[in-house]
Structure 1
Amino acid sequence: MQRVLTAILACLSMVGALAIDTYLPSIPAIGRDFGVGPVAVQQTLSVFLFTFAFMMLFYGTLSDSFGRRPVILAALAVYTLASAGAAMAPTFGWLLVFRALQGSAAGAGSVIGQAIVQDRFKGADAQRIMSHVMMVFGLAPAIAPILGGWLHVTFGWRSTFVFLALFGALMVAAVWKLLPESLPREQRHAFHGGAIARNYLKVLGHPQFLLLALAVGLAFGGLSIYIGSAANFVMDILGLPETAFAWMFIPLISGMVIGSAWGGKRASRIAPATMLRIGYGLMALACVLNVGYAAFVQDRVAVPWAVLPLMVYTFGLAVAMPAIQVGALALFPDNRGLASSMLAFVQMMSFALISGLVAPLLFGSAFKLACGVAAGMVASFAAYRLAGVAGRRGAVAA
């Protein structure tokens, strides 16, 4: 049963990743089809990410009040309908509307999935399950752009949204039949505005939690820079065709999958602080290799050397992040859904801002992209260290 649960939670976390990555090879064709420029088409990603992040604020609280299953099922239904609408969008404006609806519904599974893990597991067991979920989840960004490229070449860009609608329908059926409710009625919170507002303020007023959430978001900023720049990096910088996105995404995600598997096996034997040091050390090494290579060849980058440092980076990311996530959620044992929402919101807002606003500023230069990842890693480590300081101050004050 634990394997089935892990697989379903991982697939739920893949919903958003598939909606982000599958259509990336089609971005230039969408612009040509609707007669809009690359900056405008980039907003199909930005509007998705912003609504994705915004709704993450509420899914955890809704699941704390109404249960995990009903909220996931309702969100998946909206996601499926929005994906079908995007496939049939008659204008670019309608495509943006359906992308916004997709984003608003895509985050429920990943947010509530973290709360389900905390409902059913504790300590090293929870960290191991989170690592396993991340390992399976990591397959989505590797497979999605490759599948999207072939769908685009064979059937056109609208076929990618047909695929997303079918995946959403499949997940509705899987959750309905296989995912049990993990939050008993007697443990649910009443849906009262005043109480909910107080709980949000409690989480927002906790400096250690906010800094840990920011550390996660900034560390994933390395992924968001390259995902937001995927079409530019693969097709313009590397000079590869629409079907060659595997050159970027397979190393990027292989590192995360292998790192998650390695970290999950050692979660009960290696202290979280040691895992964090290993993870951040590997991310720092990857940034040095990435920046050094791009500077040495002066942006005449080529595969595989341009993408191998990304594999090292995501390996370190997968080793370090589960310990931070579990530690952050453990600060609010009575409000796991809300804490999960806030953690996901900070992570996705960082993702949205970096991929939508920062990544376009780095287009056309492998060196700038590499420096952007390094800056995010340094800022993430600084936030993690400040979180430790805030935690010690809070313990002294208590």
Structure 2
Amino acid sequence: MAERRGWLTANVVAQLAFGLLSMTICFPSMQDWPAQFGASQAAVQLTFSGFAVTYGGMQLLYGPLSDRIGRKPVLVFGLLLGLVGVAIAAFAQNLPMLIAGRLVQGAGCGASMVMGRALVHDFFEGRERTRVMALVGMTMGFVPPTATLLGGQLHVRVGWQAVFVVLALIGVLLLAAAWRLPPRVHEAPHAGRLRDYAAGYAALAREPSFIWYAMLLAGTTGTFYAFLGGAPLVLRGYGVTPDRLGWYIMGPPIAYIVGNIVTTRLIRTHSEYWIMLAGQLITMAGLVIVLALGVLVPDSALAFSLPFIILGIGHGLLVPPTLSGTVGLVPAVAGSAAAMAGVLQQLGGAVGGYTVGLIPGPGQVDLGLVLFAWSVPGLVALLLMRAAARQGDSRKRA
């Protein structure tokens, strides 16, 4: 029994990680794609931001659909669709075909994220569910640098097409694992009433506090995705080759895990707002250091990379309570809130990842300014959140 639960845990965690792996494994190759395809860096960034858009957008569909027809069919469909996208990308002869492949791939991978979360809810309870989610969090922290290291080695030693061959092999393994998932009948009393989801989304759009949370979440994700998309370009200017890229971006994701751990301790004695504000200020302080070192030590890859560890810690404090607040703000539509939060995360990230491609030959200061600009809406959202809370308290006293 324990062995079966262990296999189920590994299966679910792997399904959840596949989307992030697929998104980030191409970063080293993106350094060389402009020259390979004779395209601008902004156009190449669409292979990343386009993936993020379809990856996030399809989550709005997969959640309600799985309530109607079950988790396994949706997961299997998503994996098959992702494999189609991988095939298109692997055989791409030009950049538009590669972008099309990444769009299809992102649409398929969105099912892995949504169904992975749903399967955790379906198959695990209580402390076991908490343990699995903690494992998911740690895995998500390690995936980006590991994927970048793997992608860099494949790119240099075999060629960028090998990245998609490996993704295809992993996708086939996950498809077989998804097929072996045990059947599970989950209660969905409103399954089939898709208009309920639309009503839930409309209710959230009318809730000012949800708008501030969403603004904070989108800004935070946009900042991080702009880092993921821009760091390889800056490091290329410092002479960092694709096979070494992963070592230089490993710090922030690991620091994010540390921030998550600190958050679990702080939440016992501090409010969620205090933790979010601390995370936001730490993030912005880290970006100020990035800018300062970009001026004082302009030719050092380490001086560029190390300050982003501070950003990782700040995001580790900021994201968990933001997600919790987004989903828990209106309990009656928590499912819709979770889906919309996922979409807004990816849309913010997609725009963030694309904006760095608009800067010709970005340097450390250029990227630092873009990231700082992306972090400002988060601070504004927190201040508006506080003002709304004080206004509500004043009305209660009156």
Q: Which moved more, 1:259-268 or 1:132-141?
A: 259-268
2: CA distance between counterparts of 1:271 and 1:129? 25
1: CA distance between counterparts of 2:228 and 2:220? 14
Shift of 1:324: 1.4
Q: Evaluate the alpha carbon distance shift between residue 270 and residue 221 of structure 1 in structure 2; reply closer, same or farther with a 3 A threshold.
A: same
Name the structure 2 match of 1:184. 186
Matched, 1:80 2:78: no
Matched, 1:24 2:22: no
Secondary structure of the residue that 2:180 maps to in structure 1? helix
Matched, 1:227 2:228: yes
TM-score by length of 1: 0.85
Name the structure 1 match of 2:304. 306
Amino acid at match of 2:154: L
Secondary structure of the residue that 2:303 maps to in structure 1? coil
2:92 to 84, 89, 92: 89
1:163-242 alignment, distance < 5 Å = 163-178=166-181, 181=184, 184-185=186-187, 187-236=188-237, 238-242=238-242
Name the structure 1 match of 2:139. 136
Q: Evaluate the alpha carbon distance shift between residue 72 and residue 255 of structure 1 in structure 2; reply closer, same or farther with a 3 A threshold.
A: same
Name the structure 2 match of 1:294. 294
For 1:169-189, what per-residue CA distance to the aligned partner results, in whole angstroms no more than 9, with x for missing partners? 2223334435774x723x242
Name the structure 2 match of 1:258. 258
1: CA distance between counterparts of 2:166 and 2:252? 23
For 1:238-284, what per-residue CA distance to the aligned partner results, in whole angstroms no more than 9, with x for missing partners? 22112121243211222123323443466556653443344234323
Amino acid at match of 1:191: G
2: CA distance between counterparts of 1:250 and 1:376? 21
- Asked if structure 2 preserves the Cα contact closer than 8 Å seen for 1:362 and 1:369, the reply is no
Q: Which moved more, 1:340-349 or 1:238-247?
A: 238-247
- Asked if structure 2 preserves the Cα contact closer than 8 Å seen for 1:16 and 1:106, the reply is yes
Matched, 1:325 2:316: no
Q: Which moved more, 1:170-179 or 1:199-208?
A: 170-179
Q: Which moved more, 1:262-271 or 1:91-100?
A: 262-271
RMSD: 3.1
1: CA distance between counterparts of 2:381 and 2:318? 14
Name the structure 2 match of 1:101. 104
2: CA distance between counterparts of 1:208 and 1:136? 31
2: CA distance between counterparts of 1:362 and 1:214? 28
2: CA distance between counterparts of 1:282 and 1:125? 32
Secondary structure of the residue that 1:304 maps to in structure 2? helix
Amino acid at match of 2:222: G
For 1:23-67, what per-residue CA distance to the aligned partner results, in whole angstroms no more than 9, with x for missing partners? 121124444444434333222223222222322332233234334
2: CA distance between counterparts of 1:84 and 1:262? 42
Q: Which moved more, 1:100-109 or 1:68-77?
A: 68-77
Shift of 1:393: 5.7
1:61 to 59, 64, 71: 64
Name the structure 2 match of 1:282. 282
Q: Evaluate the alpha carbon distance shift between residue 28 and residue 370 of structure 1 in structure 2; reply closer, same or farther with a 3 A threshold.
A: closer
For 1:193-223, what per-residue CA distance to the aligned partner results, in whole angstroms no more than 9, with x for missing partners? 5333322212222222232122122112222
Secondary structure of the residue that 1:223 maps to in structure 2? helix
Q: Evaluate the alpha carbon distance shift between residue 317 and residue 63 of structure 1 in structure 2; reply closer, same or farther with a 3 A threshold.
A: same
1:344-363 alignment, distance < 5 Å = 344-361=342-359, 363=361
For 1:300-332, what per-residue CA distance to the aligned partner results, in whole angstroms no more than 9, with x for missing partners? 231322111111111221122111111211234
2: CA distance between counterparts of 1:7 and 1:222? 30
2: CA distance between counterparts of 1:73 and 1:62? 13
2: CA distance between counterparts of 1:171 and 1:267? 36
Secondary structure of the residue that 1:239 maps to in structure 2? coil
Q: Evaluate the alpha carbon distance shift between residue 159 and residue 129 of structure 1 in structure 2; reply closer, same or farther with a 3 A threshold.
A: same
Q: Evaluate the alpha carbon distance shift between residue 28 and residue 88 of structure 1 in structure 2; reply closer, same or farther with a 3 A threshold.
A: same
Name the structure 2 match of 1:315. 313
Unmatched 5+ residue regions in structure 2? none
Q: Evaluate the alpha carbon distance shift between residue 191 and residue 66 of structure 1 in structure 2; reply closer, same or farther with a 3 A threshold.
A: same
Q: Which moved more, 1:155-164 or 1:248-257?
A: 248-257
Name the structure 2 match of 1:145. 148
- Asked if structure 2 preserves the Cα contact closer than 8 Å seen for 1:214 and 1:380, the reply is yes
Amino acid at match of 1:201: A
Secondary structure of the residue that 1:245 maps to in structure 2? helix
Name the structure 2 match of 1:249. 249
Percent of residue pairs identical = 27
Secondary structure of the residue that 1:138 maps to in structure 2? helix
- Asked if structure 2 preserves the Cα contact closer than 8 Å seen for 1:217 and 1:346, the reply is yes
Secondary structure of the residue that 2:329 maps to in structure 1? coil
TM-score by length of 2: 0.85
Amino acid at match of 1:290: V
